[in-house]
Amino acid sequence: MGRGRADSDQAVGRPWLLYLTAGTVLVIGYWLTPVGDTGRAALYCLIGVSSVVAVLIGVVRFRPTPRLPWLLLGAGQVVYVIAGMTCCLLYDVPDTMDFRTVSDAFVLLRYPFVVTGLVLLARYRTPGRDLPGLLDTGTFAAAVTMLAWVYLIGPRVRGGPGRLGEAVPLLGHPAMDLVLFAVGVKLLLGSGRQPLALFLLMGNLVAVMTADTLYGLQRLNGTYQPGNILDVIWLAGSLALGAAALHPTMARIADQAPAGDVGLGRCRLAVLFGAALVAPVTMLVQYARGITHDIPVIAVAYTLMFLLTIARMTVLLSDQRRLAITDALTGLYTRRFLEAELPIELARVRRTGGLLALFIIDVDHFKAINDHYGHPAGDRVLAEISVRLRGTTRPGDVLARYGGEEFALLAPNVHLDELSVVAERMRTRVAANPITVNADISLFATVSVGACAFPVHVSDQVELVGMADRALYRAKALGRDRTVVWDDVASATAVPGDGPGSAADSREARETRETRETRNAHDIRTTTA
């Protein structure tokens, strides 16, 4: 069975490699065909159109969620292909306007589609504010913008108004490439998995940006000739886009990053370190060349990158502190944080009066969920339960993941008669609706809750935790899916139920458990998303 699955995976992943291989052969054939030959123009158009078809096939076959970013990338490639075809068709037509001007216009129209598609992919990968990604992107953008000014834009500005006017239209490509570069870096350096399709997509961006920059330089220097090596680079970028769309991992590029995935890996740190060295190295090179015009620009860029790096380290330190007290799966506080807050809240209650309540919540029959549906399903159940429990808390409450399937709520300033109300609110919120664990399975989950209050029921921290835990186990013994509040005479009041130890309660416990397990099994077999 293992070999069959491996062969199946290899067969699924083969089209992108076949496309890349066949496309490389066509690019070589294009390069070997003489400039001006009709077959050369046909090969150029064929390779460009094939990348658009590959994007459409990938969207239909792998059904990425969402599809809009890939459709926008495909639309941008359509405009790019039109630009290339315009260049090929008008090259040998006499008495026409400059074909390069028409081609440049279509190339510039491509950028809004591509940039929007990449921004959407980045947003889906890291929803909300991704401050580390923005700071890293800013560092790279500052380095690249400085290089563009020193070696591309600055010399044209100092060349006089005539040369600047000539350069402005051609500088549109590198200017838009800077925007494309910033968005691409944000996508690559953002949190989340980095499948092979993402690197193929980055290959497309690198090829396009490299060719566009060289094209602008050659046009400004008057050395550009149609059909040179830049066409090969552009075609290689088209092949990389098509291969990315045909790779099975293209549907995973937009997968949301885990909540705790904010680390600064070695590769990312090395690249940031290299970007920070760009400014001083450039300053030394310009000094050795005897060119001092751009020293203020380099100094400003260096200062900006320094400030961005300091801000990045500050954010990293803050993230590490947050991760130290946050459970990665549920996003709740950790048990260590709750245990650190407990003596602080106890001291506050002793000083100012009032009550401090501790609720311990345990998921019923959680081991059966893990055994029957697997640990990923169990993780989704815990994550959804944590969301529902968080919806019952107030500002100032501390909700933590206390153990494997246990949660704890530390609630200050709760009245004694509200203990059962708060506990019931959590229990009913969890049991209200089924939890979807995958596309085909939904199940009901219940919790048991034990509660205790200081100083009414206990006199210190050890007793508070111990009595809340005993109240929880009392709720378990009474049949689960219920709440128990520990009182000051070491007895328990169960809700719902007819009293501890009664025959009716024992019978109801058995019936509740059997009914819940039967309903779970029925819902799992019949409920679909």
Mean pLDDT of 404-431: 92
pLDDT of residue 264: 62
- The token duo for 403 is 């153990």
Selected residue with higher pLDDT from 454 and 214: 454
Helix, strand, or coil (residue 386) = helix
Selected residue with higher pLDDT from 465 and 35: 465
Domain covering 333-526, topology: Alpha-Beta Plaits (3.30.70)
Q: Where are the domains of the chain?
A: 16-126+192-254, 128-188+270-324, 333-526
Instruction: Check whether 504 has a pLDDT greater than 50.
Output: no
Instruction: Check whether 520 has a pLDDT greater than 50.
Output: no
Least confidently predicted of 87-96, 211-220, 282-291, 316-325: 87-96
Q: What are the distances in angstroms from CA 322 to CA 261, 316, 333, 341?
A: 12, 10, 9, 15
Selected residue with higher pLDDT from 159 and 93: 159
**Measured distance CA(68)–CA(120) in Å, rounded:** 8
Farthest-apart Cα atoms in the chain, separation: 103
Mean pLDDT of 501-515: 39
Least confidently predicted of 106-115, 253-262, 388-397, 420-429: 253-262
Instruction: Name the most confidently modeled range: 74-88, 175-189, 490-504.
Output: 74-88
Mean pLDDT of 355-380: 91
Least confidently predicted of 99-108, 136-145, 202-211, 329-338: 99-108
Q: Which residues make Cβ contacts (< 8 Å) with residue 214, sequence separation at least 6?
A: 230, 233
pLDDT of residue 322: 82
> Where does residue 114 rank: exposed (0-12), middle (13-18), buried (19+ CB within 10 A)?
buried
Buried b (16+ CB within 10 A) or exposed e, 164-203: eeebeebbbbbbbbbebbbbbbbbbbbbbebbbbbebbbb
Whole-number percent of the chain with pLDDT over 90: 38
Mean pLDDT of 12-16: 73
Least confidently predicted of 17-26, 92-101, 311-320: 92-101
**Measured distance CA(62)–CA(56) in Å, rounded:** 10
| pTM (global) more than 0.75 | no
Tens of pLDDT, residue by residue over 53-85, are 999 999 999 999 889 999 999 999 998 888 877
**Measured distance CA(277)–CA(398) in Å, rounded:** 44
* 497 closest CA partner among 476, 518, 515: 476
